[in-house]
Amino acid sequence: MKRTLFLSLSLCLASLVAWGQNSSEESAEASGMRSNGYSSATGVDTLRYMVNPLVVRQHFDGWGVSLCWWAGQCGKWTDRKIDEIVTWLVSPAGLNYSHFRYNIGGGDDPENRNCDAHHMGRGKGLRAEMEGFKDSTNDVYHWDRDAAQRKIMLKIKEKRPDAVFEAFSNSCPYYMTYSGCCSGNANGGKDNLRPEYYEEFAHYLVDVCKHYKEEYGIEFRTLEPFNESVTSYWYANGGQEGCHFDYDSQIRFLRVLEPVLRESGLSTVISAADETNVGQAVDGVKRYISAGVDPLVGQWNTHTYSGSNVDRARLAQLAHQSGKPLWMSETGSGGSGISGNLALAQRLLDDMRYLQPEAWIDWQYMEEGNDQWCTVRGSFANQTYQRVKNYYVRQQCSRFILRGYDIVTSPCPQSLAAVSADRDTLVLVALNEGAQTVHRVDLSLFAEQPVRRNIRAWRTSSGENLGNALSSVKVDGSQLILTLPAQSITTLVIPLRSTSLEPASLLADGRDYLIIPRQEGARAVTATSASAKVTLQDIDYGDAQRWRLTDEGDGTYSLQNALGLRLTAHRASGSSSLTVQTSEASEQTFYIDEVDYPYFKVLASRGRTHGLDLTSASSSAGTTVGIWQYDESSNTTPTHRQWMLFPLSAPQQGDGVELVHNSQCIMHNRADAVYDLSGRCMRSGNLPKGIYIRKGKRVVVK
């Protein structure tokens, strides 16, 4: 899926003055601000970063939550209470959720011939007992079942007409299983669905989807047949419905399900595979691709209960290469108090930064026994409920980053930035899990300087629930200085000048960049002297990290930092290395090739076989940045060889309009790509008359 870069026509035309050299930064340095961004005068940590609207990470479709299992309980409440809790859930002034996952129950043996009665009460509680719609192969569908979950879903549809619904299954009905129990096989590491029931189970799932379309007008966007299926903790007599599928079984079942779904007449597509660990999800997608069944899947899903940021980045790349959306379809966490809530908020930021999902989905809306796995705590039996701290922590993102916003780049892991579709609003979320912290945010790449009186600010902390936080915001020219109290999360909503939009090339001759590795968004390629190694260091926006891109022709560029050090490749028999030199030498030009927007591989131009690489795939501070030979047999560039070129300046006045008086193609190579005004890359062929963008310039074909 091609990611498009947008640049407002009204972006400032003056080049960004080097970070740390303007008057506001001079005053900060005088008061004790060191180059690494920490204040020695006050003892308060200060995080410095730019928000960059030139680099769009993903188009965001919305926030959501599973209906399993709280809806099956709350749907039995009075209409007034149902109306209130759903309003809290979906209204723009509430959680503003728009994506919901309906659980298709499998159903246990009513006679409990192979498991104990109410065995799920020993695990997740009796709320986890799901009725199936059939009790045997020859049974009719009992559509009166699951009335409570259905009532909640219909109330959501009433209050949120734009709601998106997914149907998902935790297990097939008991009579299709090896164990005779819908919580899993006797051996949790073995499949529980008998192969002879594959087709029947496929029809069961699709029939439920058809029923909701025909009877209630709800057409599920996606159907997910698996849930954390390669894990080994679904076992007979267990605490909830669950069903192990090894990868080969998943692949076989997809081949059965897809034609049944396609022939149903529904527009619903398959999503897969809801693994609990992001690394497992990566393995699963690769297995699907290897088996050739990936075309059967319309959306990738993963849970993020565990998994590294490297795995998040790997899955994002696979999803983008497939041209299919990706959901973070379930997560949650324990802990205690606001510290547990903020820890999950950090996971949310990591998901948005590295996984780049189109939707982010909570696991539970309401719980009884804790305030961590939910945003509302209540008593299902007594029909009592109240919003807990987690509700307001989640609102800091979900209420303000709206459906249709674009997530833009802010190279600070404790931040999340988004802009509205018409580019008239910037939303910035800043998180602080520790002691008091200051975020110093540079907005030089926006068209106008922020005006404090126009900014709105909200904060949630141990003593505040979405309280007014404007008093913690200061404006110094193009910079925001935001003070975050201990254990707090703050959201700023900043109006922008609304203008028409044009795409712009990331690679522009004469522009300065940070070179940031994909798998670590807060460090950049750094060179301090010709005798030192090229390393990865925390971003400080200093001269050692500011790389000037010079177009050398034929799609190649030279890279020289503000200290005058030129990036130089060395390739010898048996070894290769990357250095910097102050003088001209061979191997100082690089071919920069897009891998997965906005990430590139940077190849030594001679032969284009060796590219920038993080030694030992590490992204820790001090890691040596070297040159490594690519495996040409692989279609996937590893994340530790992918780089974001983070622009540090807006287009210059010299980047004006280029006139082309014929319709011949003016793209000479991939780095010279031409974009139309919708953001589509015109890769080949003649250009019709019109306006285009190439290397940050407007190109008019007459």
Look at residue 629 in the predicted model and tell me its pLDDT.
86
H-assigned helices in 75-137: 79-90
CA angle 142, 147, 153 (to 5 degrees): 125
pLDDT in tens, 512-553: 999 999 999 899 999 999 999 999 999 999 999 999 999 998
Rounded Cα distance, 203 and 261, in Å? 8
Q: Determine the average pLDDT of the residues in 177-188.
A: 98
Counting Cα atoms < 13 Å in the Cβ hemisphere of 581 gives 13
Mean pLDDT (the chain, rounded): 88
Q: Determine the average pLDDT of the residues in 114-132.
A: 92
Look at residue 448 in the predicted model and tell me its pLDDT.
84
**Phi, psi for 183 (deg, rounded to 5):** -95, 0
Write the CATH number of the domain with boundaries 6-58+406-502. 2.60.40.1180
Write the CATH number of the domain with boundaries 61-398. 3.20.20.80
pLDDT in tens, 24-34: 333 333 333 33
- Alpha carbon dihedral 392, 398, 400, 402, in 10-degree steps, equals -170
270, amino acid identity: I
The answer to whether 118 and 184 have CB atoms below 8 angstroms apart is: no
The answer to whether 637 and 600 have CB atoms below 8 angstroms apart is: no
The answer to whether 470 and 455 have CB atoms below 8 angstroms apart is: yes
- Looking at 586-669, which runs of residues are DSSP E strands? 590-596, 599-604, 610-614, 625-629, 643-647, 657-660
pLDDT in tens, 134-159: 999 999 999 999 999 999 999 999 99
Rounded Cα distance, 502 and 698, in Å? 9
Q: Between β-strands 556-561 and 590-596, what pairing exists: parallel, antiparallel or unpaired?
A: antiparallel
Q: What is the residue extent of each domain of the chain?
A: 6-58+406-502, 61-398, 505-647, 656-701
The answer to whether 146 and 71 have CB atoms below 8 angstroms apart is: no
Look at residue 692 in the predicted model and tell me its pLDDT.
59
Lowest mean pLDDT among 125-129, 365-369, 691-695: 691-695
Note the pTM of the prediction, 2 decimals.
0.87
Look at residue 94 in the predicted model and tell me its pLDDT.
98
Look at residue 255 in the predicted model and tell me its pLDDT.
98
Rounded Cα distance, 294 and 88, in Å? 38
Look at residue 284 in the predicted model and tell me its pLDDT.
97
The answer on pLDDT for 680 being more than 70 is no
- Would you state the CATH architecture of domain 505-647? Trefoil (2.80)
Look at residue 411 in the predicted model and tell me its pLDDT.
94
Q: Determine the average pLDDT of the residues in 649-667.
A: 47
Q: What is the DSSP string of 297-342?
A: EEEEEEEEEE--HHHHHHHHHHHHHHT--EEEEE------HHHHHH
Nearest to 663 by CA among 692, 698, 631: 692
Look at residue 509 in the predicted model and tell me its pLDDT.
92
pLDDT in tens, 387-413: 999 999 999 999 999 999 999 999 999
Look at residue 580 in the predicted model and tell me its pLDDT.
96
Look at residue 32 in the predicted model and tell me its pLDDT.
30
